[in-house]
Amino acid sequence: MASPERELPVALNLPKDEMPLDERQRKYLAVCDEKLGFVPNVLMAYSWHSAKFAAFTAMYNDVMLGESGLSKLEREMIAVAVSSANHCYYCLTAHGAAVRQLSGDPALGEQMVMNYRAARLEPRQRAMLDFAWKLTKEPEAIDEPDREALRQAGWNDRDIWDIAATAAFFNMSNRMSAATDMRPNEEYHAQAR
């Protein structure tokens, strides 16, 4: 299993012993390694500080795995659309692989990475991604007509919250990735092709 003691996958020299991971957090990494065959570098990047690791994983688990009207695939699609808007190499690689895997369609993963508008999506998903894109590129321009467009496409207000939370989380994650020069695991490049 990859150990949190290994070199961090970021361009910062962080004090790995400042706040070490606790037993539960180390087990979390072991489960990732067991299920995926590797520990995602984003988790390794946060492993230098148990409180930051806990905050990141709690938010990720809620946004991506929590109860929602959005499917896991739709949440991954938002991650890719936001990351495409931000040109985030880490998240485009990791979440593009997830879209390929969850959809069973390698072309969809590539379309999402390049330009979600090229994908033949149902109107409901297109509205979701249009909103996430605008929230990423022009957050100050979001207004009631944008929320109403989601309602007209079949999303309820709880869903709109989840779309916004997913987009917001990946905007934060993209910025941390860019700031630290975080690199995706090599394994992502070959997944679900």
What is the identity of the amino acid at 61?
N
CA separation for the pair 67, 142 (Å, rounded) = 25
Residue pair 77/111 in contact (Cβ under 8 Å)? The answer is no
Per-residue b or e along 32-71, where b marks 16 or more CB atoms closer than 10 Å to that residue's CB: bbeeeeebbbbbbbbbbbbebbbebbebbeebbeeebebe
CA separation for the pair 160, 28 (Å, rounded) = 30
Residue pair 39/29 in contact (Cβ under 8 Å)? The answer is yes
Q: What is the pLDDT of residues 133-172, one digit of tens each?
A: 999 999 999 999 999 999 999 999 999 999 999 999 999 9
Residue pair 60/169 in contact (Cβ under 8 Å)? The answer is yes
Compute the mean pLDDT over every residue in the chain, rounded to the nearest whole number: 94
pLDDT score recorded for residue 144: 98
* Dihedral in degrees, nearest 10, Cα atoms 34, 11, 53, 61: -60
pLDDT score recorded for residue 17: 74
Q: What is the pLDDT of residues 1-36, one digit of tens each?
A: 444 455 788 989 988 778 899 999 999 999 999 999
The phi and psi torsions of 132 (rounded to 5 degrees) equal -60, -40
